[in-house]
Every structure is written in structure tokens, then in C-alpha cells.
Chains A and B, each alone.
Chain A
Amino acid sequence: MTDTIIHIFLLLTLPPLLLGVINKTKALFAGRKGPPVLQLYYDIIKLMRKGMVLSRTTTWVFIAGPVVTLAAVVLAGMLIPIGQFDAPIAFAGDLIFFAYLFGLARFFTTAAALDTGSSFEGMGAAREVTFACLSEPALFFALLVLAKISGSLKLTTMLHSSTSAFSVAMAAPLVLVSIGLFIVLLTETCRIPVDDPNTHLELTMIHEVMVLDHSGPLFGIILYSAAMKLFVLGTVLLHIITPFQMNRMWLNWPLFIVEILGLAIVIGVVESVMARLRMRHIPYLLVSALLFCGFSFILLMRYYK
């Protein structure tokens, strides 16, 4: 019970911190002081206190976009285990529900973007749905690998067993899967090299351009759920790349926090040392993620033969 409460608490409060850490890392690399680590919390609180401007073109879909996205991401967050602890909700087949919740969020985000009738937002929506068509199969190859290793269709068991029942033979597939999943993570959370959250040119954006017309509390919800999505996908990735655990159970909570902040630093480093890819080259990156996960599946099958 306590674990569930801590889980929900972390899920709801920690995400904006990750973006703060990423931005701080980037600032350090650029030799700047950078915004405070807690900046996103301030931003969200500020936005929540503001009014809204709604376009005359829009309908209820415009508001449904952020609302449905937040609900989907929170629910997805309840399905993943954090650190060594079980997820609050776990059932056989929850991995598919997890993947499709993001699909639902995508449906309403892109619909809300089209609701404004702006061509910029149309571009963002078109890119978002296109790149999802490539990241989704990579994600499912990764899920197949994890399901095979763990022999289970529960995310909790799947993710735990990749850390606990670790053998050398699994190492190669897991390394490949984690590279693939890392690319999926960067895509889904719109980080460099796929998307630049800080760009000033709307023509080159993906996620940010879809939410140009959202303001006030709606925009606050969008920022919050984007951070939470990073948190959720990052947690999934951490299970594969950091198979550590403490001998005292409660110590695993601080360990997890350190790990996820470490992941944020890694993302910050990647963003600092890489340039954003040209839009037409992004599919190649995503196909490479697909290939990593696909080869990992084939390696694993070879092992079980």
C-alpha cells in the first residue's frame, strides 16, 4: 500500500524535474548558467493561474486533446513498475493496453492540432502520426523480446525479470533492445535529434507546433503530460539498462530517483552533443530503431532454439 502511494506520488510530482535536469545539463554544456532545475514547476503553476485564449475555429476536440492525453499518460504510468516495486495495476496483456494508451493520446493530440485550422499545426500532426508508424513496430519488437525473456505478458513481470533473471546470453538482445527503445523514447518525447523543443522555427517542429494555439491551463496540462511521458518511458528503459538493486527494499526508491535523474542527464548530454536531424532523415533513424529491436528478437530466437 505504501509502495502504491509512493508510486503515485513520484509519478505525479517527479516528471517536471527531469526536464529541469535536462535543461540544466544542456546549459552546462553550452557554458550557460541555465534556468533553475525547478523551472518547469514554476511554469506549470504560472500557466494554471492564467486564463485561456481559444480560437474561434476550435471545438471541444481542442480541449479534449490535452485532457485525454493527460489521462492516458497517468494510466500508462500506473501500469509500469518503478524500480524494484510492482506496478499498482498489473494484468496479463497490460503491455498492449500500455502501448495503445499512447495511441489514444496521439489520436486526440493530433485531432486537437487540426482543430485550429492552422497549416503549421497540420504539419506537426502529420509528422507525429507518421513517425509513430515507425516507432510503434520498434516498440512491439521490444515488447516481444521482453515477453519472451520473462515468459509473461505482465509489464511488471516482464520488466522485473529483465533485471533479475539476467544471464549473459540475454545480454546481446537486451543491449540492442535498449538502444532501440532509447531512440523510441527520444522520438516519443520529442527530443533532439528527432525534434528540438527549443527551436524558434515552427516549420521544423513536431510536437511543439501542434500545441501552438493552446494557452493557459491547457498548455500547462500539455507540458505536464509531456514530462510525465518522458518519465514513464524512461522508467521502462531503466529496467533494462540498470539491473541494480539494493539489499534494503526501501533503499530502492532513492536508487530509482538517482537512476532516472541520471537518465535525464544522459538525454541532456545527447541533446548537447548532437544536432537535430533533417526532417527527411528522421525515418532512417526510426528504421534503425526498428532494426535494432528486430535483430534483438532474432538473436533471442536463435538462443532459444
Chain B
Amino acid sequence: MILAAIAVLGFSGLPVFLFSLRSAMGQRLAAVCMVLGSVIGLAGIAASFYEAVVPTLCLPWFLPWGQFVITIDIISVLFLVPVFIIPVFGSIYGLRYWKQSEHLENGRRLVFFYGALAGSMALVVVARDAVLFLIAWEIMAIAAYFAATAEDDNPDVCRAGWVYLIATHIGTLCLIAMFALWLHATGSFALNSAQGISAGAAGTIFVLSLIGFGFKAGIMPLHVWLPGAHANAPSHVSAVMSAVMLKMGVYGLIRMTALLPVTAAWWGCVVLIAGAITGVAGIAFAISQNDIKRMLAYSSIENIGIIMIGLGLALLGRSQNQPEWILLGLGGSLLHVWNHSLFKSLLFFNAGAIIHASHTRNIDQMGGLAKQMPWSMALFVVGAVAICALPPLNGFASEWLIYSGLFHTLGLGDGPGFPVAAIAAVPLAIIGALAVACFVKIFGTVFLGTARCEPVNDAHDPSASMIVPMAAMAMGCVCIGLFPMIAASWLDSAVKLWVSLPEQTVSLTTVVRLGWITKMNLAFIVLVAIIAFALKKLVRTKVISEAGTWDCGYAQPVTRIQYTGSSFGQILVNLFAFILWPKIHFPAIRGLFPRVAHFKIIVPDTVLDRLVLPLFKTAGRNLPWLRVLQQGQTHLYVLYILVILIILLICGTIGV
């Protein structure tokens, strides 16, 4: 217990060390500190398993409200593991990717806030008091802001940072309201089970937490900050933000629903619908983009959608008293939290390597990197297959659980059903098919074919300190993909902590046979090996000649005539035009000798660019009289505070 607390503290404090240093030493030292912190943290987690009771620590607290209470239960542990693992690999990756000597002006700031981000996330998941939680939450939000806007001389980065800052604070505002209600309903800030509170209060708290945490997690209409912030942050920061920080929103939602009594079916339905919309729209937007990091960011939104579908299923199971739905839904969604943090950080690390090599984020200017970057390419295949939820890797294991749960809601055999929920399997299938399209597009355009532009030609595989973190993530994907049962007992106890199941004999391993996943995946790999071996034997004696791509006999192919990412996605963009609203610039071609024409397709974020920003602009134009209050003089603001306090005092005395 105490060990874990040390780790948490160590985490946030240690990177300060390097403040005195400008050389590479500082950064290395910070990375060493991160490794140390994570080792202590993981040791703390291991130690917490050997304690009979759930370890809790209370410390004296300087504020008049709340207490300093931290607890490590199994739900915290499940979220702590990625917090302790991903940022460490990110910092090792950063040694080479964001070299201190190449980024004198922002290197140290990045390293400091990167560490603070990791530490505050660890604090968020162990805090068991609303005030402490909010403080950690705010540190996390601010640290992420400063880490993501490392290149703040670039206007795009600044804009993305602003959008993020505003969005995250609207979310925090909802959380403050939510915790105020919580205080009102339960009488304390302590985050302990509140089964006794009224259904109305519970419902309101649930909705507020869905919105507040939804902003962080990126549930669909609330995702506005996510693509810009992820695209413009340094790649290892994007990796941590996408792989770990988004999950803090998921954690908050899971924690709050664990504490609240779930009675109504609409909770589950709302989350299920939100998840389905988030998933399908997220991946549809991902396909329509050309910036590799924006694509990955939108695909994170899609994965949050999948996690939400699982959570919605579990909530539904709780209201209907169906242990199987709860186990499969929550188990699947928690496993997907892990899986997504593995393959998404792998892909973001990889994207960083690609950008390093090609000096652009636009995939339409890349191509043919496979020959120059064979390792990155192989690792990208692992990440892409995993994120498309294809067997034999880990994404499939978690989606399989969620699918099984959704099929259970049909009411198989004599069991009771909620067949409307089962329809969610269909959006999940659409997500799966679209994910394949999206990642084939990225993979094919970036790595395959031939180079579309000149600068890509000097590309090369990154050095070991960037490859090793990717390889570690890929190993994780393979391990969980082949042996998902290693996580089963953890998931099982997490689900049982989330809700006390009526029959304690039911567990994840009795509901589904995860062993079959292992057997089938191994069978598949063996089959591929046999076929490949047979093919090799077969062609050994044959003539294998090399030639140019046949291309239907076209004798002089130019690299420019290759299919680009935009053209690859165009049919799908047209198909989903009702969500995407693409801006298509398509000049009419007239006459026998038409002039040079350019086809262009841009898909702005529907919510941000078509709704939120115009709304803000209109508000700014039409509501200038509100600015009367905003004078920019500090003493005036202090006066406002005084006036309001006096009004409150009067209200309090009369007893309104």
C-alpha cells in the first residue's frame, strides 16, 4: 500500500530533477525516474494483492473540505497498470524522438509536464474523495495541456490547445456540479458506495458524470478537442493522451456507476446508444482524414465507443439483474481499455517514426516506406490488425466478449431478453468493417506502393530507443491476443467489485470459454505457417522473376498515378456523407483540352467546425453587451465576489 503511494508521489515529483540540466542527461535521468516510479508502482500493485483487506491510506489534509484518502481496489489496479506502463515507454521513446538538444526551448517543459501528467493520472485512479479527485483531475488536464502544446509557436498547436482547454473545463464544470450533488445526496465528499440515495438524484448524478467524463473520454458530440489536440501534440504525448488519459474518463464513469444504485434500464440504453454513435461516427471520420495522427485520434474515439457499448451492456445487465451481461459487457470493456492502450500507443509511436522519416503528417505525400522502414512496417501491421479487432491479436478478444454479451441479450433459450440491445451488435460489425477500411488505407498509403513525394526517399527505421517501446507494445498485443485468460481473473474480480452479483459462483471463465480463443488463434497461426512453408517448398525449384508492376500493361507508370489515401476512402466518404458533410472541390472538366484541375476533398469535424465554432462566433457578434461585466480590472472582479458573498449572506440569514 505505502509502496504504491510512494510510487505515485515519486512519479509526479521526480522529473523535477532535470530542471537543473540542459543536456541529454536530464532527459535520461527523467526516463530513469519514470522507470523507477513505474517499478515501484507495479510492486505496490503486486503487494496490494497480498493484503487481506483493500488497502486504504488516510493522510492529514490541509483543506477544510474533503480528506486525503486513497484506496487501491481492483478497478483502480486495472487502470493503474496502463498508467504505470505506457508513459514509461513513452519517455524512453521521447529520448530519441524529442531530443533535448534539438528542442532547447520546450524540451524541459515537455519532460516535466509529461511526468506530471503520468503522476496525476495515477492519483486520479486511486483518489477516493471527491475533492482530491477533482484536484488530481485538474492537474492532469493542465499537465496534458502544457505537454500537448509543446510547440506553441505554431498557430495550429495553439488553437488545438485552446479548444482542449475550453472543452476540458466545461467537462470539469459538469463534474463539480456532479460532486456538489453528490455531497448533497450523501452528506460527504467521500467516494463510498451510495446505494441509499434516491433514484432521481442518482439519475442526475449519472447524467452529469456521463457528460463530464464524456468530455475527457471523447464520447461523440463531446469529442471536439480530441482530434486537434492529438494531432498537434508530440507523438509520445499523443500516445499517452490517447492510450491512457482518455481512459480516465472511462474510469470515472465506471467508478461512479459502481457507487450509484442502478435501477433504470435507460442508463444502459443511453450509454449503449452513445457508444454506438461514437463508434461508427468516430471511425467514419477517421477514414475521411489524411493526417495520420488525426486518423489515429478519431480511431481512439471509435474505440471509446466500443468501450461504451460494453459498459452500456453491463449497466443494462445491472438493471435487469443479468450477471452474464454484466460480466461480458464490463469484462469486455475493461479488457478493451487495456488493449486499446497497448495498440494505440504502438500506432502513435509508429506514427511518430513515420513523421520523423517523411517530415509530413499527410499520408497522401508518403508511400513505399516499407522498403526503408521494414521494422516499423511489421510493427504497424501488428497494431493495425489488433485495432481492427481481427484474430489472432488482442482487439479480437475484448470485442469477442462484448459481442457474446450482446448476443446474450437476445434472451437465448429460456433466459429473459432485451433484444433491442442486441441490435448494438450491428453497429459493432459496421465499426469492425470500417476499421479494416481505415487501417488498410493508412497502412497501404504510408508503407506500400512507391513514394509519392521526394522527401520520403531518405527515410529510415528509427533507432532502437524508438523501436523497443513499439516492440514491447506489440508483444503485449500478441500475449493478450493469444492468452486472454491471463486477464480473466482480474476482470472477474473487478466486475464483482463493480456490482455484487447475485450468484458468486458465476465468473467470466464459466460464462465464456476464453480457452477457445487461444486454441483457434494458435490453430490459425499454425495453418498460416503450414501454408507458407508448403508454398516455400513449392516455389523453391521454380523461377521467380522480378519485374515492374504490371498495371494492365501501362508501360510508363508514374508514382503519382497510384491510388492515394483520399481516393481510397472516397466511396466511403460519399456513403457516410450524411455524418461527414465533406467539402468536395471538383472542378468540371470541359472541352477537348481541359486545363489543369485539382480534386480536393476536405472533411472538417462536423461538431466543432460546423456547430460549435459558428455558434461561438455568432455569440461573440450578437452578445457584446454581456462584456459590460468583463472590465479586465482585478479590483472590479474582487468587488463582484464581495457583492455575491453579501447576497449569499443575506439569503442565508433570511433562510431562503
Interface residues of A (CB under 8 A from B): 48, 50-59, 61, 63, 67-68, 70-72, 74-75, 89, 91-97, 99-101, 103-104, 106-107, 110-111, 114-123, 125-127, 129-130, 132-133, 136-137, 139-141, 143-144, 147-148, 151-153, 202, 212-213, 216-218, 221, 283, 294, 297, 301, 304
9 interchain residue pairs of minimum CB distance: A122-B563, A114-B444, A117-B449, A51-B543, A129-B437, A51-B542, A140-B429, A71-B527, A91-B516
Within the assembled complex, what's the spacing in Å between the Cα atoms of A98 and B597?
A: 45
Q: How far is the CB of A288 from chain B (nearest CB, A)?
A: 15
Task: Report which of A93, A99, A121, A133 forms a contact with B434, defined as CB distance below 8 A.
Answer: A133
- State the CA gap A126–B440 with chains docked (Å): 9
Q: Closest CB of chain A to B404's CB: distance in Å?
A: 5
CB-CB < 8 A to A54: which residues of B?
A: 544-547
**Contact between A111 and B448 (Cβ–Cβ < 8 Å)?**
yes
- Bound-complex Cα distance A14 to B539 (A): 25
Decide yes or no: A136 and B539 within 8 Å by CB, A110-B440, A117-B549 being known contacts: no
Question: Do A55 and B549 touch across chains, with their CB atoms under 8 A apart?
Answer: yes
What's the Cα separation between A96 and B432 when bound, in Å? Answer: 11
- In the assembled complex, the Cα of A72 lies from the Cα of B447 at a distance in Å of 24
Contact B432 A301 (CB under 8 A): no
**Complex contact B433–A133 (CB within 8 A):** yes
A56 CA to B224 CA, complexed, in Å: 43
B433-A212 in contact (CB<8A): no
Q: A55-B550, A148-B419 are in contact. Are A129 and B377 (CB under 8 A)?
A: no
Residues of chain B contacted by A117 (CB below 8 angstroms): 367-368, 448-450, 549, 557, 559, 562
Binding stretch for chain A, among B86-94, B155-163, B389-397: B389-397
Q: Which of B4-51 touch A at CB < 8 Å?
A: none
In the assembled complex, which residues on chain B have CB atoms less than 8 Å from the CB atom of A93? Answer: 400, 403-404, 407, 512-513, 516
For the complex formed, measure the closest distance between the CB of A222 and the CB atoms of chain B, giving whole angstroms: 12
B524 within 8 Å of A (CB atoms): yes
Residues on the A chain within 8 Å of B422, using CB? 144, 148
B572 at the interface (CB under 8 A from A): yes
* Selected contact of B520 from candidates A57, A89, A148, CB within 8 Å: A89
A70-B531, A118-B562 known; A125 vs B568 contact (CB < 8 Å): yes
CB-based contact A137/B385 at 8 Å: no
Q: How far is the CB of B408 from chain A (nearest CB, A)?
A: 8
The CB with the most chain A CB atoms within 10 A, among B381, B547, B549, is that of B549
Contact of A59 among B377, B423, B552, B568 (CB under 8 A): B377
Interface string of B398-433 (1 = CB under 8 A from A): 011001100110111110010100110111111011
**CA–CA, A179 to B135, complex, Å?**
58
Given the complex, which residues of A lie within 8 Å of B512, measured CB to CB?
A: 92-93
B601 in the interface, Cβ–Cβ < 8 Å? Answer: no
Asked if B588 CB lies within 8 Å of chain A CBs, one says no
Q: Are B571 and A130 in contact (CB under 8 A)?
A: yes
Docked Cα-Cα span, A67 to B528, in Å, equals: 6
Q: Which residues of A contact B371 (CB under 8 A)?
A: 59
Partner of B552, one of A89, A111, A212: A212
Cα separation A202 to B371 with both chains bound (whole Å): 28
Among B368, B436, B439, B552, point to the contact of A120 (Cβ < 8 A). B552
Across-interface contacts of A119 in B (CB, < 8 A): 551, 561-563, 567
In the bound assembly, the distance between CA atoms of A140 and B544 in angstroms comes to 42
Q: Is there contact, CB below 8 Å, between B538 and A92?
A: no
Is B581 close to A, CB under 8 A?
no
Partner among A48, A58, A92, A127 whose Cβ is within 8 Å of the Cβ of B404: A92
Q: Is the C-beta of B443 less than 8 angstroms from some C-beta in chain A?
A: yes
**Is the beta-carbon distance between A116 and B449 smaller than 8 angstroms?**
yes
B391 touches A101 (CB 8 A): yes
Residues of B within 8 A of A139 (CB): 429
B317 at the interface (CB under 8 A from A): no
Residues of B79-120 at the interface with A, using a CB-CB cut-off of 8 Å, are none
Interface flag for B370 (CB, 8 Å) = yes
B535 an interface residue at 8 Å Cβ cutoff?
A: yes
Q: Are B403 and A96 in contact (CB under 8 A)?
A: yes
Q: Which of B538-580 contact A (CB under 8 A)?
A: 538-539, 542-552, 557, 559, 561-563, 567-572, 575
CA distance in complex: A91, B520 (Å): 10
Neighbouring B residues of A294 by C-beta, 8 Å: 426
Q: Which of B391, B568, B575 contacts A104 (CB 8 A)?
A: B391
Nearest-CB distance from B325 to chain A (Å)?
14
Q: Are A129 and B440 in contact (CB under 8 A)?
A: yes
Please tell me if B487 contacts chain A, counting CB pairs below 8 Å. no
CA distance A129 to B370 in the complex (A): 22
What residue of chain A has the Cβ atom nearest to residue B520's Cβ?
A97
Find chain B residues with CB under 8 A from A123 CB: 563
**In the complex the two chains form, is B570's CB within 8 Å of A126's CB?**
yes
The CA-CA distance from A132 to B440 in the complex, in Å, is 13
Query: 5 A-B residue contacts at CB 8 Å?
Result: A56-B548, A58-B549, A92-B512, A126-B567, A147-B407
Closest beta carbon of chain A to B589's beta carbon, Å: 17
A129 partner residues in chain B, CB cutoff 8 A: 433, 436-437, 440-441, 572
Report the Cα distance A91→B518, complex, angstroms.
12
Residue of A nearest to B412 (CB): A151
Measured between beta carbons, the chain B residues less than 8 angstroms from A59 are 370-371, 374, 377, 447-448
**Complex alpha-carbon distance, A71 and B522, angstroms:** 12
Chain A residue nearest to B419 in the complex (CB): A301
Contact B396 A137 (CB under 8 A): no
Given contacts A70-B531, A93-B404, A202-B552, contact A148 B410 (CB under 8 A): yes
Q: What CA separation (Å) do A212 and B554 show in the bound complex?
A: 13
Given contacts A57-B549, A100-B391, A130 and B572 within 8 Å (CB-CB): yes
Is B437 within 8 A of A130, CB to CB?
Answer: yes
Q: Does B532 contact A (CB under 8 A)?
A: yes
Q: Across the interface, which residues of A come within 8 angstroms of B520, CB to CB?
A: 75, 89, 94, 97
Docked Cα-Cα span, A70 to B430, in Å, equals 24
* Binary per-residue interface labels of chain B (364-378) against chain A in the complex, 1 for a CB within 8 Å, 0 otherwise: 000110110010010
In the complex, whether B612 has a CB less than 8 A from a CB of chain A is no
Closest to A48 in B: B538
How far, in Å, is B365 (CB) from chain A's closest CB? Answer: 15
Residues of chain B within 8 A (CB-CB) of A57 are 368, 449-450, 548-549
Cβ contact within 8 Å between B444 and A111: yes
Min CB gap A225→B, angstroms? 10
Partner of B527, one of A51, A58, A74, A111: A74
For residue A121, which residues in chain B have a CB less than 8 angstroms away from its CB? 563
Cα of A96 to Cα of B390 in the assembled complex, Å: 10
| B523 beta carbon closer than 8 Å to chain A | yes
Determine if B547 and A56 form an interchain contact, defined as CB atoms under 8 angstroms apart.
yes
* Given A122-B562, A148-B412, A153-B407: 18 more A-B contacts, CB < 8 Å: A56-B547, A58-B549, A59-B370, A59-B447, A100-B391, A100-B396, A100-B432, A111-B443, A117-B549, A123-B563, A125-B440, A129-B437, A129-B440, A130-B572, A143-B425, A148-B422, A212-B550, A213-B550
In the complex, A61→B335 CA distance in Å? 29
**Contact of A71 with B572 in the complex, beta carbons under 8 Å:** no
B258 lies within 8 A of chain A by Cβ: no
If A57-B449, A141-B426 touch, does A107 touch B550 (CB 8 Å cutoff)?
no
Residues of B within 8 A of A140 (CB): 425-426, 428-429
